[in-house]
Amino acid sequence: MAQIKFDQLKKIYEGDVVAVQDFNLKVDDQEFIVLVGPSGCGKSTTLRMVAGLEDITEGDLYIDDIRVNDVAPKDRDIAMVFQSYALYPHMTVYDNMAFSLKLRKFPKDEIDERVQNAADILGLKPYLDRKPKALSGGQKQRVALGRAIVRDANVFLMDEPLSNLDAKLRVQMRAEIIKLHKRIKTTTVYVTHDQIEAMTMADRIVIMNDGFIQQVGVPKEIYDYPNNIFVGGFIGTPAMNFVYGKYTKEGYFESDNVKVKVPGVKAKLLNDKNYGDKPIVLGIRPEDIHDENIVLETYKESHVKLKVEVSELLGAETNVYAKIGDKEIVARVSARDDIKMGDELELAFDMNKVHFFDIDSEERIRN
Partner 1 sequence: MQKLHVHMHKSAPHSMVEDLLIDLYPSVTFFVNNGVYTYFSIDINDTVDLPLEDLYNLLVTDFEMRFTLCYHPSAAKNLIGNAFSTTLNVLPSGTFSFEETLFKLYKAHPENLSTIKTNLNSVLTQTDNVTLTAFGNANMKALRAAKRLFIHRNTMQYRLDHIQEMTGIDVKTFKGLFIIHALQSL
Footprint on this chain of partner 1 (rule: CB under 8 A):
13-15, 48, 51-54, 72-74, 76, 78-82, 84, 86-90, 99-100, 103, 133, 147-148
**What is the closest distance, in whole angstroms, from the C-beta atom of residue 355 to partner 1 in the complex?**
40
* C-beta of 73 vs 276, nearer to partner 1: 73
* C-beta of 72 vs 314, nearer to partner 1: 72
* C-beta of 78 vs 331, nearer to partner 1: 78
- What stretches of 251-336 show up as alpha helix (H) in DSSP? 264-272, 293-298
**What is the closest distance, in whole angstroms, from the C-beta atom of residue 249 to partner 1 in the complex?**
55
**What is the closest distance, in whole angstroms, from the C-beta atom of residue 331 to partner 1 in the complex?**
43
* C-beta of 67 vs 74, nearer to partner 1: 74
Task: Please name the residues in contact with 167: beta carbons below 8 A apart, sequence gap of 6 or more.
Answer: none
Pair 13, 19: CB distance under 8 Å: yes
For residues 319 and 332, what is the distance between their CA atoms, to the nearest angstrom?
A: 5
Q: How does strand 344-349 pair with strand 289-290? A: antiparallel
Amino acid found at 241: N
Strand partners, 116: none
Task: Please name the residues in contact with 312: beta carbons below 8 A apart, sequence gap of 6 or more.
Answer: 318, 319, 320, 321
**What is the closest distance, in whole angstroms, from the C-beta atom of residue 91 to partner 1 in the complex?**
8
Direct distance between the N- and C-terminal alpha carbons of the chain, in angstroms, rounded to an integer: 38
* C-beta of 97 vs 339, nearer to partner 1: 97
**What is the closest distance, in whole angstroms, from the C-beta atom of residue 277 to partner 1 in the complex?**
51
Cα dihedral value 96, 184, 123, 146, nearest 10: -10
